[in-house]
Chains A and B, each alone.
Chain A
């Protein structure tokens, strides 16, 4: 078609394409595979860090009555799985939230998810005190999900708000909910258990308490199937509709999905501050915003980031543990401030 056009309209400038930071990416796929390999190696190593000395040989003996083997199966493996699953789930949730809401500073920690989960836990403890732990968790998940959706619905209504104002409102919204939770926790003497629960910490991860995270892992994997749709929705309503994407369905379906995922992680593991904010921002800064391309990298980086922080938390004050949330908080907070300053100076 139109063959005559292309011959005479070719310009004279044949200078090579100017390489850009992420367009020239040393083949995104190779990088992702490399990161994955690094993650696997580090994961393997982390299995053998801890108060009880467990060596690979102990595990190979595969003797169930053996203390070392039991520590390994009851504690080390669950802990590792919890770290990997929650790290990737939180980062991916943050990435998708940011894409759908079209704001780089929205994430579970700035969207009221964590504080709503706290409120849910308090409510569950006060009124359903005798219920099973699973039911209590479900109530908290429900609260977290509803809280997140309320905030996101709020954001949808103020499309032209300043990019920084949106997360600020989220933090304020979270503050109000948190204050309510604290008030009731104080009144019913639940403050300590609430704090213990909500602070991100993997030391309590044992078999029988973290399996919900496998559901989260599955849901995170499912998001990959919708990666293109999420990107298109992020490019705007008209743009998405033109390409046959059901805009509202993808937007609200996606937001429900990531609210659910982050709610479960917060309830099972506790809050890991800034994770959903910092990891996706760093990855997209390097690789662009095409979710199909950055989603796997984000999942891997998130898992790796939490894994490293967890190893630090176990070794800094060995044989004691510092809550992983504190470690992530310090590092993540710094990066977050840098990101905000950068976005201000670039004017985006």
Chain B
């Protein structure tokens, strides 16, 4: 369980996460949505302990993320960042292998190698495995980073816009993979998504943020309505029902 308790983050005088409390029970996919600058990445970074809040605490499985040793947390909680630019020249395989660092510290065991191979296979990176990251396309690189997080094999995964740069096929496959991991392996996954329809299709729960606060929280059916979308994004979006699910037509 992730327990976020009255978390506040300020930059100077602007408050970008404003007294947020939220509980995410184990298992399932939670989609975090909201406009640019709503505070999604900031909140995710605070949960993932890479950013210190001014106030409030975050607990994962009862462990305070600000106080628990990093090595312990790295086996329970992983975070994929929104920006994944690296100047370091390593291969896809080396990157994915780093996902096992919390377990083996670099001396990979048989089991570690199995995880690496599987992650590479799931993201269809076999043919790029030995290629340096800086010689991949944007989407291929994004998949390599997803594979690394997958390889970290934590119960809790925080994915900040994992679909960045992915084509239709790979976006759909990645979301399917995420959903199956939540279902089959009881993983708890929080994923920031801009395409509300992906959230509708794959998430168990949608949490909407606006100006650093949580303004809506519920099942896809209850969130994806013209009224709520107007509240969150300040545009009029017609919602249709397709195959029993809400489909927001937000293109114009």
A-to-B contact residues, CB < 8 Å: 1-2, 4-6, 9-11, 13-18, 20, 22-24, 102, 227-228, 231-232, 234-239, 241-246, 284, 288-290, 292, 348
Contact = CB atoms under 8 A, between A and B. Distances in A.
A284 to B, nearest CB: 7
A229 to B, nearest CB: 9
B233 interface: no
A243 B132 contact: no
Nearest to A228: B106
B240 interface: no
Contacts of B130: 17, 20, 23-24
B127 A284 contact: no
Nearest to B77: A242
A63 B72 CA distance: 60
Given A2-B180, A11-B124, A23-B131, 8 more contacts: A2-B122, A5-B173, A13-B127, A242-B74, A244-B69, A244-B75, A245-B70, A288-B94
A237 B50 contact: yes
B121 A289 contact: no
Contacts of A232: 98, 101
A1 B101 contact: no
18 contacts: A2-B122, A2-B184, A14-B127, A17-B130, A17-B131, A20-B130, A20-B132, A22-B89, A22-B132, A231-B90, A232-B98, A236-B86, A239-B86, A244-B69, A244-B71, A244-B73, A288-B94, A348-B87
Contacts of B73: 244
B74 to A, nearest CB: 3
Interface in B57-110: 69-75, 78-79, 81, 86-91, 94, 98-99, 101-102, 105-106
A288 B90 contact: yes
Interface residues of B, number: 47
A14 B127 CA distance: 8
Contacts of B152: 242-243
Contact of B101 (A18, A238, A244): A244
Nearest to B154: A242
Contacts of A241: 48-50, 70
B86 A242 contact: no
A155 B105 CA distance: 29
B129 A1 contact: no
The SS class assigned to the A binding surface is loop
B216 interface: no
Interface string B151-183: 010000000000000000100010011001100
A243 B101 CA distance: 7
- Closest 3 A-B residue pairs measured CB to CB? A244-B74, A244-B71, A228-B106
B185 interface: yes
B89 A1 contact: no
Contacts of A245: 70, 101
B221 interface: no
A228 B105 contact: yes
A244 B132 CA distance: 24
B201 interface: no
Contacts of A236: 86
A20 B78 CA distance: 31
B198 interface: no
A102 B86 CA distance: 10
B45 interface: yes
A246 B91 contact: no
Given A23-B132, A289-B89, A238 B45 contact: yes
B94 A290 contact: yes
Contacts of B75: 244
A18 B129 CA distance: 10
Given A17-B130, A228-B105, A242 B180 contact: no
A17 B128 contact: yes
B184 A246 contact: no
A234 B48 contact: no
A233 to B, nearest CB: 10
Contacts of B86: 235-236, 239
A2 B122 CA distance: 9
